[in-house]
Structure 1
Amino acid sequence: MTEIGWPPSGRCRFVLAARSFGITVLRLLRLTTPDAFADWYAASRAYTRHVADGMDFTGADALDGDRIATALGDAPEELSPAAARSVATTLLADAAFSEPYCEWMPVWYEIGLLAPVRYADWRLRRVAGAVADASDATVTAPRFSRPRDVRIDGDPALAGVSGFCERFLLADALLHLEWFVHVATADGIAVPDDLVARTRRESLAYYAGTRDRLSPDVRRFQALLFSDDAWVRRVDTAYDLDSRLFGLWERLLATERRRLEST
């Protein structure tokens, strides 16, 4: 992996984007009830289904995400336990994702986003709890890896990873894997344990710069997982956020997805 630095001018652009994210969170204040998260869930479920279909995982079609999203928007209190579990688990996973992600990033990134992501976490957890309680569904939140939890070839996870882009990709390669496994399992999708273990091990080494390439099935899996650029774009559009930070995330994710697809 070639190190990609983050020049001062780029950092200035990020600061503007971070401020935009604060405005984004303020715009999301209007999302206070489960029905307001129908488009959010639809985007997340579409991502889960896309990855599962791409990997030919059993159970990808066990739930009709479009129908659940419509029901969530129309009458969330009438969701079946399985549908409510899918919605609540997805929202809980989204809630728990951002703060650990920030810990993988440079301090200036973490400081800039910590307060907004904690608010988003709180809001998503409240809505997820309401959905689960209404249908008496049992759900759990995932625990995402933080840098202190991970060692790569015996060294601290971030020992050789300093650039903004390198940290961004390393964090996403690990955390979107963990997100997918948790949500897919709740949706009845069978994700092979061996593939998950190899994807975690190879991806950490690859994005830390200690491995030259990913094995073909892991590369295919990661290329699909990096399609979370579509989730970012879909949420940004659905809620009319016009977020600079979402735009930055989308560009970084899409660039890496295309690179993996072409190698």
Structure 2
Amino acid sequence: MGKIHGGFMKALGLVMEHGWPPHLPADKRDKNLAYYAIRDKLKERIDLNKETKFIVTGHSLGGALAVLFPAILALHGETKLLERLEGIYTFGQPRVGDGKFKSFMEEQVLDRYGVKYLRFVYCNDLITRLPFDDPVTSLYTHFGTCLYFNSCYKGQILPEEPHKNYFETFGGTRRFLNALFELVRCLYLPLLKGGDYREGLAMILMVRFSALAFPGAADHNPLDYVNATRLGSMEVFQSAESSKKWLKNSATSGREVQDKIKYC
């Protein structure tokens, strides 16, 4: 499938002595490895109802595992599960593999089974990139439709996230001003949208204030990804719906997509 980050593979359930056997060896069946446990549970569930479908999602490390899970399903020829896989939604996902892995996913999972893949990126999230992404110096690469949200939670579909070089000219000023705005925003957002958006004192002191000294680090916060899906405009989801890259042959409406992402 290409070169894939070893740490993510181990986290998913790689059996070091055996690689990825279709079935766990007898001496490993009590290990509760993520891939095998989830795959077997899904098989039980979809057998109960022929209409059942599922979505794989995760934030950060979870987003990396969400992409790798269907890749291993394809490796094992789990056609029945892949046909029920409706989509992959990741939030603040780091890179997981090289160009060959990208091609494998696009050909053997996304195109072959019509699986939707949306990669959510919030503002200056450093986990989703390297300091010197412009030009790209990494072995690994992103792929899939990129939904990029700015600090006002306004989203747009981009071929790739902007501001790739952390050390770009005036980049530090831009990130600092953005962190300052996020600090102010956490105070007025509850007044505009209600108490659900109130951030605790620990969040304000440990995340929002610290972001002034380390701009970009706070943008990996799951709370901002939750807010982006709740407050993001319908236009970005409707645009994604019309994109052949990820909703080919799908009748799902933009509102249904947003509701499913909120539920996840």
Q: Which has the higher contact order (CA 8 A, sep 6+)?
A: 1
TM-score, normalisation: structure 1: 0.29
TM-score, normalisation: structure 2: 0.29
